[in-house]
Structure 1
Amino acid sequence: MLPNLQPEEKELLMFLLSQPGSLDQYVAYPGFQAGQQQLFSVQLQLPAALPSLKDAFLACAITVKQLQAGTAMDTDTTFSVHYILKAMDALRSLSVLSSQDAVLCHALGGLLAFSISSAIGVGVPDICRHCLGTTTQFVGTTVSDADPWKSFLILLDTMDCLVYRRKPILRIRVPSSVVVDCRLGLCLPLLPYYHDLCVISNSILNTTDVGILARLQKQLDEIHCLVEPWQPSHLDQLVEQFDSAEIVHLLAQAKLYRLGALLVGHRLRFPFGQEDAQAEIWSKEVMMELEIAKRVTKRSMRFVTLPFIIAAVEVRDKSLRIKTLERVDDCVDHFAQFLQKATKTFLSRVWHERDLNLTTRWFDSIYKPCPVLDSVTASLL
Structure 2
Amino acid sequence: MKDVVAPSPLDKFLVGPSFHEAHHTSFVQNLIQPIPELRNASVACAAVLFSDKFTEYTNTTMDIGHKRAALAVSSLRCFQISNENDLTTMLILSVAMITFAMHVKDGQPYLIAQYTLSIIKSQYQSLINFQSPMMDLFMCLISTETFECLLRSRTPAWRMDTSQRGKVVDRYLGLSYPLFPLLFDICEAADQLRSCEVHERDSIFAQLMGTHAAIDQWHPSSGADFLVRLSQDEVVTIMTQARILCLAALLIIHRLRYPFGQHDNEAQSISQDIILEFKTALRITERSVPCTSLAYLAACFEVVGDDRRESALRQIPSIITFSKQAQAKTARLLTSIWDIRDLQTTFYWFELGEFF
TM-score with structure 1 setting the length: 0.85
> Match of 1:280, SS?
helix
Residues 302-348 of structure 1, C-alpha deviations (whole Å, 9 max, x = no match) = 2211211111111123321111111112222422x223112212211
Q: Which residue of structure 2 lines up, in the alignment, with residue 259 of structure 1?
A: 247
Q: Which residue of structure 2 lines up, in the alignment, with residue 340 of structure 1?
A: 327
The one of 193, 199, 203 equivalent to 2:182 is: 193
Shift of 1:156: 1.0
The one of 76, 79, 100 equivalent to 2:64 is: 79
Output the amino acid matched with 1:148.
Answer: D
Q: How many angstroms apart in 2 are the aligned matches of 1:176 and 1:119?
A: 33
Q: Which runs of 5+ in 2 are unaligned?
A: none
> Match of 1:73, SS?
helix
1:304, 1:333 within 8 Å by CA — same for their partners in 2?
Answer: no
Matched, 1:33 2:17: no
Output the amino acid matched with 2:159.
Answer: R
Q: Which residue of structure 2 lines up, in the alignment, with residue 306 of structure 1?
A: 294
1:209/1:291 CA distance change after superposition, 3 Å: closer
Matched, 1:184 2:164: no
2:190, 2:256 within 8 Å by CA — same for their partners in 1?
Answer: yes
Q: How many angstroms apart in 1 are the aligned matches of 2:250 and 2:353?
A: 24
Of the structure 1 ranges 273-282 and 138-147, higher mean CA displacement relative to structure 2 is found in 138-147
Shift of 1:66: 3.0
2:30, 2:39 within 8 Å by CA — same for their partners in 1?
Answer: no
Q: Percent identity?
A: 25
2:256, 2:349 within 8 Å by CA — same for their partners in 1?
Answer: no
Matches within 5 A, 1:209-224: 210=199, 212-224=200-212
> Match of 1:364, SS?
helix
Q: How many angstroms apart in 1 are the aligned matches of 2:71 and 2:109?
A: 16
Shift of 1:363: 4.7
Matched, 1:315 2:300: no
> Match of 1:147, SS?
helix
Q: Which runs of 5+ in 1 are unaligned?
A: 1-11, 370-381
Output the amino acid matched with 1:340.
Answer: Q
The one of 246, 256, 277 equivalent to 2:265 is: 277
Shift of 1:301: 2.4
Q: How many angstroms apart in 2 are the aligned matches of 1:364 and 1:188?
A: 27
> Match of 2:204, SS?
helix
Q: How many angstroms apart in 1 are the aligned matches of 2:350 and 2:319?
A: 20
Q: Work out the number of aligned pairs and report it.
A: 350
1:109, 1:128 within 8 Å by CA — same for their partners in 2?
Answer: yes
1:43/1:147 CA distance change after superposition, 3 Å: farther
Matches within 5 A, 1:237-256: 237-256=225-244
Dislocated runs of 4+, deviation >4 Å: 41-47, 140-144
Matches within 5 A, 1:72-221: 73=57, 75-139=60-124, 142=128, 145=132, 146-174=134-162, 175-208=164-197, 210=199, 212-221=200-209
Of the structure 1 ranges 357-366 and 55-64, higher mean CA displacement relative to structure 2 is found in 357-366
Shift of 1:186: 1.2
Q: How many angstroms apart in 1 are the aligned matches of 2:184 and 2:106?
A: 23
1:266, 1:279 within 8 Å by CA — same for their partners in 2?
Answer: yes
Higher helix share: 2
Q: How many angstroms apart in 1 are the aligned matches of 2:109 and 2:124?
A: 21
2:176, 2:220 within 8 Å by CA — same for their partners in 1?
Answer: yes
The one of 37, 40, 56 equivalent to 1:55 is: 40
> Match of 1:228, SS?
helix
Shift of 1:41: 5.0
1:186, 1:251 within 8 Å by CA — same for their partners in 2?
Answer: yes
The one of 268, 279, 286 equivalent to 2:274 is: 286
1:139/1:321 CA distance change after superposition, 3 Å: same
Q: Which residue of structure 2 lines up, in the alignment, with residue 6 of structure 1?
A: none
2:48, 2:62 within 8 Å by CA — same for their partners in 1?
Answer: no
Matched, 1:350 2:337: yes
2:47, 2:61 within 8 Å by CA — same for their partners in 1?
Answer: no
RMSD of equivalent CA atoms: 2.3
1:244/1:67 CA distance change after superposition, 3 Å: farther
Q: Which residue of structure 2 lines up, in the alignment, with residue 21 of structure 1?
A: 7
2:189, 2:204 within 8 Å by CA — same for their partners in 1?
Answer: yes
Output the amino acid matched with 2:299.
Answer: A
Shift of 1:281: 0.9
1:366/1:257 CA distance change after superposition, 3 Å: closer
Shift of 1:300: 2.5
